[in-house]
Amino acid sequence: MKTISKLLRPDNWVRLLVVLILLPFDFLVALSLWLSELLYFPFSIFTKVSPPITAPNIQEASIIILNWEGKHLLAEFLPSVLEAVRHDGRDHEVIVVDNGSRDGSVEFLRTNYPLVKIVALPRNMRFTGGNNAGFQAAKNDVVIFLNNDMQVDPKFIRPLLEGFKEETTFAVSCQVFFQDKTRRREETGKTRAKWKLGFIEMYHGQITESDHKQNYVPIFWGGGGSCAFDKKKLLAMNGLDTLYDPFYLEDTDLSYQAWKRGWKSLLAVDSVVVHQHRGTNKLKFGDNYVDNTIRKNQYLFIWKNVTDFRWIIAHSLLLPLIQARLILQTNWRFELRAFLRALIQFPEALYKRYRARPSYILEDRKVFHETSRTLPRTGENTINFSQGDFGEQLGDGWHERERNAEQGFRWMGRSSSFFLFPKGNEQFLEMKGAVPDIRNFRRPCLKLKVYQDEKLIFSQRWLRAETFHLKIPLPLPSH
């Protein structure tokens, strides 16, 4: 395997040593997970289904904005929230939870926005504690969590609330845009996850035309800074879990726990917010600490939530390889620190894993399947590279139309080649988009090759970032 061969190179001896040092701890994690499953198995017959919770009242919502040292952000973005409330024409409640700010945020709100309800906490209770305090103070059945650097569309409220008409809905998330339109949309609201080689990969997919036609799309998790939740279900689950403090993946954990109880999370495509990304986490804590916390919480998420025994076996056996791959991708200090931080919290994760098990009615594989289904595509003979992953535009496997006709699309993988079959007698293939900055890659070159009937008809390569718009002539078929 490539990972092992790279790790065995002389210049990687420190990384290899770290992987070997972690082996006993990996064995401890594996043994504990296996024992927890074996001990739980006799009691699995006592699985209790969560009692049905009636659909919430969707006429009014409580909008909760978490703030810490963000007076300047409130001054800039709170007016858009109040304008959305006025636009909807209902008696929505706006709550600002202040996490012990010392920049005068509370005084600013009392002076300039007397109708906004303030929950002033004596100290910083972080993302989890602050939002939990906010929804417990809310009076309405639906609570909408917003970051304090979100510019909301005037019509963003109603699509969120309409998604709760079914009693099985737990969360409805907004579609997220960036203010800087030149940036690739790493955050869209269309959340996805894949289980790959014993580890979980989470990402945001691109919004397609089919998503717009569907209005509501199943998602893996509802982002805690741009999402509405059913308050009664939140209370039943005791809110966000402090296991993931100080931040990140607590909203993912919440939605995943809900999915396993049979409660779904949805993306409301027509509910739009613009994320300014001027938040406080990376400014206050630094990029390295934030990224390290995310990695720590990835381990905790698996140890707490994944109960499929085959996946547990895969994670346990492949854990040294997972660590080796991650160490080669980043650096050994970063990965060692993240794993040891997670290991300290491993007993708490095991306890919460065991406590939540009786409420589960959906298996892990079912949740992943429900939240990654490819919707039927429109079949347009155009691929826009600037929209990100080809797989999110074309769909995995065979195109829906191809089952009923000879032509269609087929996607071959998330980062490799794809096949494109013209629908009829098109005379050219149109491709447009932007090449990212690839100078930091080992071999900075992006290649595009187009084949027809196994014959190369077009080839181009890029060595630097640039936009392009190609119209590639298609030779007429020989038959």
User: What pLDDT sits at residue 468?
Assistant: 72
* pLDDT(309) > 80: yes
* pLDDT(254) > 80: yes
> How many CB atoms sit inside 10 A of residue 104's CB?
11
Exposure class string for 244-272: b at 16+ Cβ within 10 A, else e:
bbbbbbbbbbbbbbbbbbebbbbbbbbbb
Quote the CA–CA distance of 39 and 307 in Å, as a whole number: 13
Query: Helix 250-260 to helix 287-305 angle, to the nearest 10 degrees?
Result: 20
Band (388; pLDDT cuts 50, 70, 90): very low
* pLDDT(452) > 80: no
Tokens (6 digits) for 118: 């303030």
Helix (H) or strand (E) holding 269: strand 264-275
* pLDDT(435) > 60: yes
Q: Where are the beta strands (DSSP E) in 302-426?
A: 382-384, 397-398, 409-411, 418-420
* pLDDT(234) > 80: yes
φ, ψ at 426 (rounded to 5°): -60, 145
Closest CA to 269 of 325, 355, 209: 209
| 391 vs 273, residue with greater confidence | 273
* pLDDT(419) > 80: no
Q: Which of 235-239, 451-455, 460-464 has the lowest mean pLDDT?
A: 451-455
| 409 vs 129, residue with greater confidence | 129
Q: Tokens 């199943």 map to which residue?
A: 218
User: What pLDDT sits at residue 96?
Assistant: 98
Evaluate whether 478 touches 453 at the Cβ level (below 8 Å): yes
CATH class of 61-285: alpha beta
User: What pLDDT sits at residue 172?
Assistant: 97
Q: What is the mean pLDDT of residues 266-287?
A: 79
| 264 vs 434, residue with greater confidence | 264
Closest CA to 359 of 459, 478, 240, 259: 259
User: What pLDDT sits at residue 217?
Assistant: 93
- The three-point CA angle 30-34-40 to 5° equals 150
User: What pLDDT sits at residue 212?
Assistant: 81
Q: What is the mean pLDDT of residues 169-178?
A: 93
pLDDT tens digit sequence for 95-115: 999 999 999 999 999 999 999
Domain boundaries, the chain: 2-46+288-370, 61-285, 382-473
Quote the CA–CA distance of 477 and 479 in Å, as a whole number: 5
Helix (H) or strand (E) holding 130: helix 126-137
